[in-house]
């Protein structure tokens, strides 16, 4: 997995390119994957939404088991090798989905992709490796901007390609992952110094053992509850977006892709241009609180919006909620030593995956019930109402965690 790499100093620019390409490949599928599932189910909206929810949950379940393993492996062998493994798995996943003749093959491909989906958590650990504690919020803001840029291009291109051929975006995503693998193999330098590595342990690598190990970091463990609940609501939004806007506003893949492109553009602007200044002024803790309040507000408005144009206005509010991510990541890394950043990021990625198991099921099944004949139009927004309530619960949990943490920030040992 490793090639002779030119002597380069690890920096945010390298991982920025990696994340942009990774999210670009993922974003290509968002406008078309629900449509492909509905096609396999004969065009039935309710049945298709149920199966799509299960498909997303299966991917998240596999990621839940795989992420802590990849995170611990990155602490032992370095970030670069794990990124290469994740990219190879993604490329295989997308190619098999492009060829899938039925739902069974589609499910198998998603399972393989979920097991190897460790690039974001490893990228977070990479940022922690190459930034000083006082600059971490800015680093994670740049990572969020990379995520946003991938969403600017991915869904838009995916929607356009999907209007030509529903399978074409899958091939484009496979190509993005393959190109990213080549970039990682020949260009991306390793960020984890040999003296900061530690032996691999299955006790830390399994998801339950990894969560138990967080007891040594009370501040990190307390915030994990809030992170899980918040991610549960976010998973509900992304899993239902295409189905909801298609049903309620009559959007086709092009409109879905354009709306998500706007989400990506505004998120990139907020996290690249505003997060550093806002968090520098109010701090990580207040950044998490403000972001969660904005998240709950946006979710509620999405579910209530009677007109399609309102969605674009609400996206502005939802994008500003993005300051919570860099603030939370910055707070976490300041409470963890250097040789455990990968494992802890793997745990949080695993929690996101765990949230991705019930989240899509709750949203798609609630949506499937709400769109049955005879139901009022506004009821289709019920997944967003649930997500808003979850954001408020995450807010309460975060506030409780911060109230208990009276220790000053400490640089990683």
**Domain chopping of the chain, boundaries:** 12-185+211-404
pLDDT, tens digit only, all 413 positions of the chain? 555 444 566 777 888 888 888 878 777 887 888 888 888 887 777 777 778 878 877 887 887 777 778 877 888 888 888 888 888 888 888 899 899 999 999 999 888 888 877 677 788 788 878 888 777 767 777 777 787 777 778 888 888 888 888 899 999 989 988 988 998 888 888 888 787 777 776 666 666 666 666 777 777 777 878 888 888 888 888 778 888 888 888 888 778 878 888 887 887 788 777 777 888 788 888 888 999 999 999 999 999 988 989 999 999 998 888 888 778 877 877 777 766 666 676 677 667 777 777 888 888 888 888 887 777 777 888 999 999 999 999 999 888 888 766 554 444 43
Q: How far apart are CA 350 and CA 67, in angstroms?
A: 5
**Domain 12-185+211-404 class, CATH top level:** mainly alpha
Closest by CA position to 191, among listed 14, 391, 405: 14
């Amino acid at each position: 997995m490793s090639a002779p790499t030119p002597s380069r100093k690890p920096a945010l620019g390298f991982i920025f390119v990696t994340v942009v390409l990774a999210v670009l490949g993922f974003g290509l599928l968002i406008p078309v994957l629900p449509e492909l599932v509905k096609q396999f189910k004969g065009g039935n909206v309710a049945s298709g939404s149920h199966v799509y929810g299960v498909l997303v949950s299966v991917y998240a379940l596999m990621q839940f088991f795989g992420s802590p393993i990849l995170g611990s492996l990155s602490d032992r062998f370095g970030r670069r090798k794990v990124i290469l493994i994740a990219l190879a798995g993604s490329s295989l996943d997308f190619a098999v989905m492009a060829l899938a003749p039925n739902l069974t093959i589609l499910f198998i491909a998603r399972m393989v992709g979920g097991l190897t989906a460790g690039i974001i958590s490893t990228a977070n650990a990479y940022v922690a490796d190459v930034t000083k504690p006082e600059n971490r919020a800015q680093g994670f803001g740049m990572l969020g901007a990379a995520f946003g840029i991938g969403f600017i291009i991915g869904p838009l291109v995916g929607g356009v390609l999907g209007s030509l051929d529903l399978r074409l975006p899958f091939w484009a995503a496979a190509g993005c992952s393959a190109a990213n693998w080549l970039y990682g193999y020949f260009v991306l330098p390793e960020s984890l110094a040999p003296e900061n590595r530690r032996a691999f342990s299955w006790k830390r690598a399994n998801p339950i053992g990894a969560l138990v190990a967080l007891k040594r970091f009370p501040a990190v463990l307390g915030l994990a509850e809030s992170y899980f609940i918040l991610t549960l609501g976010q998973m509900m939004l992304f899993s239902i977006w295409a189905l909801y806007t298609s049903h309620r506003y009559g959007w086709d893949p092009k409109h879905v892709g354009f709306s998500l492109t706007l989400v990506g553009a505004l998120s990139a602007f907020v996290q690249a241009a505003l997060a550093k200044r806002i968090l520098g002024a109010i701090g990580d803790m207040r950044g998490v609180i403000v972001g969660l309040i904005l998240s709950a507000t946006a979710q509620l408005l999405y579910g209530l919006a009677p007109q399609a144009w309102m969605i674009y206005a609400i996206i502005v509010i939802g994008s500003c909620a993005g300051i919570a991510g860099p603030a939370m990541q910055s707070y976490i890394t300041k409470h963890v030593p250097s040789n455990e950043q990968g494992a802890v990021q793997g745990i949080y990625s695993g929690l996101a995956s765990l949230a991705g198991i019930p989240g899509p099921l709750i949203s798609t099944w609630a949506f499937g019930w709400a769109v049955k004949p005879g139901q009022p139009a506004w009821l289709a927004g019920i997944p967003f109402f649930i997500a808003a309530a979850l954001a408020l619960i995450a807010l309460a949990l975060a506030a409780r965690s911060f109230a208990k943490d009276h220790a000053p920030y400490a640089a990683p040992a």
